[in-house]
A and B are shown apart, each in its own frame.
Chain A
Amino acid sequence: MKRMRTLAGISILALVLAACSSGTTDTAAEETAAALDDSNCAAAESFCVGLVTDIGKVDDKSFNQSAWEGAQAAAAEVGGFAKYIETTDTKDYAANMKQFTDKGYDVIVTVGFLMAEASVAAAKENPNTKFIGVDQFQAEEVANLTGLIFPEDQAGYAAGYLAGLLTKTNKLGQVLGLEIAPVQKFAKGFEAGAKAANANVAVTTVYHPPADNGFGDPVWGAAEAKKQLSQGADIIFGAGGGTGNGALIEIAKAEGAGTSIFCIGVDTDQWGTVPEAQPCLVTSAMKGLVEGTSDLVKAAFDGSIKGGNFNGTTGLADYHDLASAVSADIQAKVAEIVAGLKDGSIMTGVTL
């Protein structure tokens, strides 16, 4: 009995000490943004932006992170507050959104196509809250839900076109995450663009085997990239979150990286997010996630946001230090393609 009392006493003492030493407010490092907190979100003057990630973390160097950066930037610009919740289970989407709606948040950004239905349901239940669904195509218009969609195939096409012109071996490779729609669009776009630029080119396309870690397996990505390189590919497209990053890092190690061997990143300008890849990273097939999210959040702030679909921009990242490896001729041609895709004069021809 005495021992139990001792144990209980020590434990309670420890808890109390911990509680007192860490302050009485419930703040923590991750929820940065502007000055305020979310205690008065319901008030008209305060602007609170919430973000619900897809399964994964906000520092995944991929689209969760980009969307968060966009939301944060927008909130800071308009003097609002931003917070995120990381989803651990697909069944929690609705509950996670509810955390924000219960607190009277003004805008909720939901990231990822898996959340599409949950977003629609939440938007219908909370007509006074604005919802921004990243990668969520709206088949029917819901007034307070805006789907931020991107034509990934266009970004892939532009990257493929560049690769088709740049390749010396006429062999290209793709190291991909799981075989799901957005990745397929990138991949098929890449192949279409490459073939359009260079009819003799052969594109090797490999998806990660179905598994929970399809987008977080840099070991496999690196091994696959190495295999494709040794089989003659001189430009490889890495599209698949962490898996793709592994490929990029491996290619950067290759002899001739940056002069005869190149890698292409995805989603954002990976020059900044994966610095190890810089030796080979000629460009990235980007989805304007940061800008798109930021623009929509600001539009929600000033009331100009509309329901339905909002087309985000896609494009190719800057060539950075490898610009000298891409001849002016090729750069001009690629720029033409990008412009043509944007104004609709060039179609990728990709259907799923």
Chain B
Amino acid sequence: MLDFISDNKKSLITLGLVTVIAYVFYFLDEIRTTSVMVFGWGYAVPLVLAAMVGIIGERSGVVNIGIEGQMLMSAFAGFFGSVFTGSIYLGMIIGILTGVLMGAFLAVAAVKWEMDQIIAGVVINIVAAGLTSFFYAQGKTLPELMPVVSIPLLSDIPLIGPVFFRNGLFALSTLFIVVAVNYALFKTRWGLRSRSVGEYPSAADAAGINVTRVRMMNVTLAGALAGCAGAFLALEAAGTFARGLTAGRGFLALAIMIFGAWNPMGALAAALFFGLSTAIASQLQADEVINIPQQFVNLLPFVMTLIVLSIAVGRVRPPAAAGQPYTKEG
């Protein structure tokens, strides 16, 4: 527990600051603060999940720029899967599996074929955009809605309760997923093996770890999280599918991943930061508080991110072997 705190100092401080500020505002205006935080967390959920995909991949040495395509395809599959099976739960599973399938493609292309990882990702994005648009059928509606579940006790905490613990299934699981990925990556043997493969593959190889197998498995399984992110967008957030539903969130998630220094907790903090500034920008427009044109108010999250990055975060180091295929020598 103690090393968790010291390892994630920056993220925890950020989260702590946000929480304190949030409660201050909560004291001033309960309703507005809660609704802004709900908006912010809702915005952050797919970013967090997608960032996890990127983190797991890159920590293992594989750059995944195709998360956007994975999410889009999963959203499509999740939505139409629900429609055609008549069950939203089956749709969720189909969406997740689609993410895994596309992760498998990346795994084969980037690891087995040793293709340029960026190109593999770009291919995924283009194919996903093309296919989901080409095969889109209009007029379909979800057979049932995503249930909203409240976690007992936790959801009663003022402010934090309704925001984080009363949600649809994907949003609810997100915090737990982050903690789980963090734990797995830093406290389990799997995590150690994966990270070694991403930092110093030749040493890992010498130690008997099957670099190819670890990378392929990680990239494929991480696809499940991309599937969650995509299915979340279609089934939980929007309740429908539209062409281009993901709208660049997959790329934003990469920025979040880097912002969070390739760390699950960091990504969580970064995503929350981004989501909340987007929510605040929207609220400022709604309240007509400041007489600034909406185009500028909406720039808030992007400008704030740049400022924070320039001042506070500085240089971050990606896993040393990320992006380079590993070929066994000798």
The answer to whether any beta carbons of A and B sit under 8 Å apart in the complex is yes
Question: A242 to B281, alpha carbons, bound, how many Å?
Answer: 21
Contact with B along A200-215 (1 / 0, CB 8 A): 0000111101111100
**Contacts A204-B286, A224-B39, A249-B240 known; 9 new A-B pairs at CB < 8 A:** A210-B295, A216-B244, A218-B238, A218-B242, A219-B237, A219-B245, A223-B39, A227-B286, A276-B240
The tally of residues in B whose CB lies under 8 Å from a CB in A reads: 37
Q: Which residues of A contact B295 (CB under 8 A)?
A: 179, 209-210
A119 / chain B contacts, CB cutoff of 8 Å:
none
Bound-state CA distance A204–B240 (Å) is 25
The 0/1 profile, CB within 8 Å of B marked 1, for residues 239-264 of chain A is 00010011001100100000000000
Q: Mark B247-290, 1 if CB is under 8 A from A, else 0.
A: 11000000000000000000000000000000101110111000
Known: A207-B294, A209-B294, A276-B142. A226 touches B39 (CB 8 A): yes
Q: Contact: B35 with A218, CB < 8 Å?
A: no
List, in ascending order, chain B residues with CB within 8 A of A219's CB. 233, 237-238, 245, 247
Interface status of B327 (Cβ within 8 A of chain A): no
Shortest Cβ distance from B133 into A: residue: A57
Q: Is the CB of B282 within 8 A of A206?
A: yes
A interface with B by C-beta (< 8 Å): 57, 59, 61, 179, 204-207, 209-213, 216-219, 221-224, 226-228, 230-232, 242, 245-246, 249-250, 253, 273, 275-276
A273 to chain B, nearest CB (A): 8
Could you tell me if B238 and A216 are in contact, using CB atoms closer than 8 angstroms?
Answer: no
A230 and B294 alpha carbons, distance in the complex (Å): 22
The answer on a CB contact under 8 Å between B239 and A250 is yes
Q: Which of B32, B243, B244, B282 contacts A224 (CB 8 A)?
A: B282
Q: Which residues of B contact A221 (CB under 8 A)?
A: 238
- 11 CB contacts below 8 A, A to B, read A59-B136, A207-B294, A212-B247, A216-B244, A223-B237, A226-B35, A227-B36, A231-B31, A231-B32, A246-B242, A275-B141
CB distance from B49 to the nearest CB of A (A): 14
**B32→A222 contact, CB < 8 A:** no
Does B67 belong to the interface (CB within 8 Å)? no
A206 CA / B286 CA spacing, docked (Å): 5
**A100 → chain B closest CB, angstroms:** 23
Quick check: B239 and A246 within 8 Å, CB to CB? yes
- The answer to whether A246 and B240 touch (CB under 8 A), given A206-B285, A230-B35, is yes
Instruction: Say which residue of A59, A209, A218, A226 sits within 8 Å of B298 (CB atoms).
Output: A209
Closest approach, in angstroms, between the C-beta of A66 and any C-beta of chain B? Answer: 13
Does residue B38 face the partner (Cβ distance < 8 Å to A)?
yes
Of all chain B residues, the one with the shortest Cβ separation from A205 is B286
CB pair A231 B245 closer than 8 Å: no
